[in-house]
Amino acid sequence: MKSLPPKAKPEVTVDVVAFTVEDSQLKVLLVRRAREPFVGTFTLPGGFMWEGETSAQAALRNLRTKSGVDSNIFSEQLYTFDDPQRDKRGHIISVAYMALVPLEKISKHISLDVKLAPVADVGQLPFDHSQILAYATKRLRTKLGYSNVAYSLLPKLFTLSQLQDVYEVILGHPIDKRNFRKKILSLGIIEPTEQKLTGRKHRPARLFKFAQRSYAELEEPIF
């Protein structure tokens, strides 16, 4: 291998894959680019990392300034994408983050420049954002299997059917209702409340809450 000039250094950006579940579909937040390259097309929100901040801060800052989504959401670093060709402007590496947001915290920010796209049919995204999205989707699926992350996609109170829907949508296959309830309750990560969800045209569902609304890994896998 040739020695390149040791003083030429790549620049660092962050990109955020913000997921939510809507209408029994896994969706990702996309924003319209304000600049070249790819002005006007929808991409993952992202931008340059600044000196003095962490990439995690940069990720949330970019998510906030580009989409308005803010406040107390789950996020975690995924992977650093660094193919020298990934951005035509030069060698720009990207630290990718995944954010999980309950729908209620996104809806009000939807606009002409901020949209939710079903992951199943986003099509091609600019840069290597399709690759980043694929990586994030896989990570989310895996993570669901050994942690309580589902809390970050649901409101404080939810029904078991809503919870099951989150699992089915992300795992991509149906789950038996009785087995799901047995399993999830035996893990002790959620607790029943006295409240019920009424006003639907069927039997009211009991509302549950997560025992802990912060990330925790489980001893034994769920699946």
Given the rule CB under 7 A, which residues bind DNA? 159-161, 176-179, 181-183, 196, 198-206, 223
Report residue 7 as tokens. Answer: 């003083």
**Contact flag: residue 34 with its own copies (CB under 8 A):** no
Of 14 and 153, CB closest to DNA? 153
Among 118, 155, 204, 221, binds its own copies (CB under 8 A): 221
Cα 150 to chain centroid, rounded? 11
Query: Sign of torsion, CA 18 21 22 27?
Result: positive
Of 118 and 172, CB closest to its own copies? 172
Of 11 and 176, CB closest to DNA? 176
Of 20 and 67, CB closest to its own copies? 67
Is 192 in a helix, a strand, or coil?
strand
**Contact flag: residue 83 with its own copies (CB under 8 A):** yes
Contacted entry of DNA, its own copies, none for residue 79, CB cut-off 5 to 8 Å set by kind: its own copies
Residue among 43, 72, 56, 44 at smallest CA distance from 12: 56
Minimum Å distance from CB 204 to DNA? 5
Residue among 187, 165, 183, 185 at smallest CA distance from 174: 165
Of 28 and 96, CB closest to its own copies? 96
Query: Which residues lie closer than 8 Å to 114 by C-beta, 6 or more apart?
Result: 29, 30, 31, 32, 66, 67, 68
Minimum Å distance from CB 178 to DNA? 3
Contacted entry of DNA, its own copies, none for residue 206, CB cut-off 5 to 8 Å set by kind: DNA
Q: Are strands 205-210 and 25-32 parallel, antiparallel or unpaired?
A: unpaired
**Distance (Å, rounded) from C-alpha 207 to C-alpha 215?**
21
Contacted entry of its own copies, DNA, none for residue 93, CB cut-off 5 to 8 Å set by kind: its own copies
Contact criterion met (CB below 8 Å) for 155 and 38: no
Chain positions contacting its own copies, by CB under 8 A = 1, 4-6, 8-12, 48-57, 61, 77, 79-80, 82-84, 90-91, 93, 95, 221
